[in-house]
Structure 1
Amino acid sequence: MTHKVVVTGLGAFSPLGEDVPTTWKNALEGVSGVKTIEEPWVEEYGIPVSFAAQVAIDPTESERLSKVEAKRLDPSGQFALIAAREAWADAGFSGEDADSAEEVDSERTAVAFGTGMGGVWTLLDAWDTLREKGPRRMLPMTVPMLMPNSSAAAISMNLKARAVAQTVVSACASSTEAMEIGVELIRSGKADVVVVGGSEAAIHPMTIAAFAKMQALSTRNDDPTAASRPYDTERDGFVMGEGAAALIIESEEHAKARNARIYAEIAGTGASADAYHITAPDPSALGATRALREALEDGNIDPEQVVHVNAHATSTPVGDIPESLALREVFGEHTKDVAVSATKSMTGHLLGGAGAIEAVFTVLAVHHRKAPCTINLNEQDPQIELNVVTKARDLPDGEIVAVSNSFGFGGHNAVIAVRSV
């Protein structure tokens, strides 16, 4: 028996807000989360890019994280745990009212979480400590904090998810691939509930300098909020972002048995590999096209049912074009009727967490029948023939489907298709 997979809880800790309601509100209003980095290391090391999309508040200021937890988690783990707790509560698995604090079988509850880099702050700080102060000053929690699986482990331990806790590290496709794993765990009957999503905390002088050296980042230091401009003829690179998002997915039977509020169905997933280049996407978009088609076929979805796409759309000169080719190849003439949102224009690029925050946006777009904004699009690249949403737009009534795309260095392509309920 194949189980239908539904979304019952959402959580986010992002550049647009410390929770889902704030993040979603700002995404609809076209608010930019990008700003100048107010850290001494920018000048100290001569970092060529001085802006990024940092999380809205310091995670240690969140009421959902204790001082002890903050001390024992890398920022990526802090973001992840905050987002997962919000999603868990949103799904009705916690609350002051006993009737709303639904019980869940811990051995039927799993975690599948993604990251691109893991605990990069912990790793590099530990190296500095070793060089400057010697091995005696190393923190005993260094290894658990820097492990890429730290976020999944922290969520698993905190929420008592004992079925399995898996981590996906596939660059910017990580959290979307993690969602595919979560869906398969439920479809196969191995779990009833899975916490899926992703986290990244890589706004560090080394990573910014490295991405800048690749000429992958925008260099609009004088105008940070306008720097991330997907599809615009003047786009010059992506903007580093950070944060986390989590979704609670369940079998439909499990959700209905506990009378849970259902946002939408994860109807289909697709994944592929370009096998082309370690950083550049295949210009012919064959892999992206295959992943997109697979997601639709997996969900038994007619391409004309798709009314909205949350695009990967990083704002790089070479990256945006292949995705548009894939969309046109799959949707054909229907492409003109598909509302395309490029939300990285507001959030920046959360790397391994990008697919998670964009999945939250996609679920909410279907649930509320509203497509979020794309900002900073002044002159659309004529090579990108898409119907781009520049102001929040209503989506049709009836059964609709939306798609979220994620593509990563290494040629990773991952897609989820979300259907209204």
Structure 2
Amino acid sequence: MSKRVVVTGVGAITPLANTAYETWEKIKNGESGVAPITKIDMTEYNVKVAAEAKGFAAKDYMDFKEARRMARFTQFAVAASKMAMEDASVEVGKDVEAERVGVWIGSGIGGLDEFEEQHKKFLNKGPKRVSPFIIPMFIPDMASGRVSIELGAKAMNNCSVTACASGANSIGDAFRVVQKGDADMMITGGAEAAITEMTLAGFANMTALSTNPDPATASRPFDKDRDGFVIAEGSGILILEELEHAKARGAKIYGEIVGYGATGDAHHITTPAPNGEGGRRAMIAALNDGSISPDDVNYINAHGTSTHYNDLYETRAIKDVFGKHAYQLAVSSTKSMTGHLLGASGALEAIFSLLAIKDSMIPPTANYKTPDEELDLDYVPNVSREKNVDIVLSNSLGFGGHNATLVFKKIT
């Protein structure tokens, strides 16, 4: 018999704040973390803005010597995981057996920042000057590995690398572990720190990034004048726990994860399948997995990247899945405020989905000014909305044709 799985803790490092709750308060108020890029000299780039994690100091969350041996994305994951465990009021070895706690944290790119830095040393000073820690610094699984070491979690330790669906896939895969009974608790989510010279050059040259220099309007999902996504960095971590285990220790519960759907487009390396066919199947699979009727969904936290095809095809897929109910749904993209955290985006948006349930508050799509004739759903323009929220669906879609949908439900 399948176990019921609930969320008992959340933690985050984001462009808006260095906690999940502070980030959420700013999201509800429509505040943005997008600003001019400070980490890189952008003189030769046509992209000028990003959503950097501001004021983050690894030494505030972990041993400084060990932090220097971690890439930035791993530091984010460790910090957010520690905050999530504290939020869940749980300690490995005390409140839960170490062998019953696992880690599944995804990253789309991993430590490319460290790879770039060490490659410059290799070219300029020779191979002997390359750090002996470079390999465990840049491989994407090291966020999961380091969190396991830092927190003492000894059950399944894994990492999903599915581009911008990495965080959502990791949560869904961790959900299956607890649901099956292979662990009582999973520390899961995503982490990314890919605001680097090479990443910006690559995304810019494929014309995926917004070239709008105005931070106030650069990320504008579903708007007719959208011109690309705004890259961001950070981490979102959730504590998934078997329901009876959570009840036995008196844990607070944000909500229940009831459905997970994952599909492949088999279409193109970057462009989504026509009309969001793969995303449509992921949504249907997630709803079926949770025995949820489409008409019972109140809110969709959309992938909503602010690119032409994503916003168009995701809208069409939603209309295909939900029919007439699509026009009663609230659909918003919090990437309008956080930017696109790539492999961490689905995890952060899962947190927002749960907090929407908890606070009966639907976050807005900021910067929405000019309606697009082809995009005619309720995108919750610019102002958050008080509304009872029982069921939320969260979409994440990645390069390579990866589609992941999560369904969260108010606990009953």
TM range (shorter): over 0.9
- Residue 132 (1) aligns with residue 124 (2): yes
Instruction: State the match for 2:109 in structure 1.
Output: 117
Q: Runs of 4 or more off by more than 4 Å in structure 1? A: none
Deviations 1:231-286 (A, max 9, x none): 10100000001100000001101101111000100010001000010000012221
- Residue 284 (1) aligns with residue 275 (2): yes
Instruction: State the match for 2:84 in structure 1.
Output: 87
How big is the alpha-carbon RMSD for the aligned residues of Structure 1 and Structure 2? 1.3
Instruction: State the match for 2:45 in structure 1.
Output: 47
Rounded Cα–Cα distance in structure 1 between residues aligned with 2:76 and 2:40: 23
- Residue 219 (1) aligns with residue 211 (2): yes
Instruction: State the match for 2:30 in structure 1.
Output: 30
Instruction: State the match for 1:98 in structure 2.
Output: none
Rounded Cα–Cα distance in structure 2 between residues aligned with 1:401 and 1:40: 41
- Residue 148 (1) aligns with residue 140 (2): yes
Rounded Cα–Cα distance in structure 2 between residues aligned with 1:24 and 1:102: 30
Instruction: State the match for 1:70 in structure 2.
Output: 67
- Residue 419 (1) aligns with residue 409 (2): yes
| 1:3-402 equivalence runs, <5 A | 3-39=3-39, 41-43=41-43, 46-60=44-58, 63-94=60-91, 103-221=95-213, 223-390=214-381, 391-396=383-388, 400-402=390-392
Rounded Cα–Cα distance in structure 1 between residues aligned with 2:405 and 2:66: 33
CA contact (8 A) 1:167 1:178 kept: yes
Secondary structure of 1:33's counterpart equals: coil
Percent identity reads 42
Q: Which runs of 5 or more structure 1 residues have no equivalent in the other structure?
A: 96-100
Rounded Cα–Cα distance in structure 2 between residues aligned with 1:212 and 1:155: 32
Instruction: State the match for 2:396 in structure 1.
Output: 406
CA contact (8 A) 2:40 2:196 kept: no
CA contact (8 A) 2:34 2:215 kept: yes
Q: How far is the alpha carbon of 1:94 from its aligned partner? A: 4.6
Rounded Cα–Cα distance in structure 2 between residues aligned with 1:207 and 1:404: 26
Q: Which runs of 5 or more structure 2 residues have no equivalent in the other structure?
A: none
Judged with a 3 Å threshold, the aligned counterparts in structure 2 of structure 1 residues 164 and 40 are, in CA distance, closer, same or farther, namely: closer
CA contact (8 A) 2:18 2:56 kept: no
Rounded Cα–Cα distance in structure 1 between residues aligned with 2:15 and 2:41: 20
Rounded Cα–Cα distance in structure 2 between residues aligned with 1:188 and 1:295: 17
Deviations 1:74-133 (A, max 9, x none): 0000111111111010011159xxxxx952111011111111001101111111110011
Letter in 2 for 1:136: K
CA contact (8 A) 2:357 2:388 kept: no
Q: How far is the alpha carbon of 1:16 from its aligned partner? A: 1.1
Normalised to the residue count of structure 1, the TM-score between the two structures is: 0.95
Letter in 2 for 1:414: A
Rounded Cα–Cα distance in structure 2 between residues aligned with 1:34 and 1:160: 35
Rounded Cα–Cα distance in structure 2 between residues aligned with 1:40 and 1:84: 28
Rounded Cα–Cα distance in structure 2 between residues aligned with 1:273 and 1:40: 35
Judged with a 3 Å threshold, the aligned counterparts in structure 2 of structure 1 residues 268 and 39 are, in CA distance, closer, same or farther, namely: closer
Secondary structure of 2:25's counterpart equals: helix
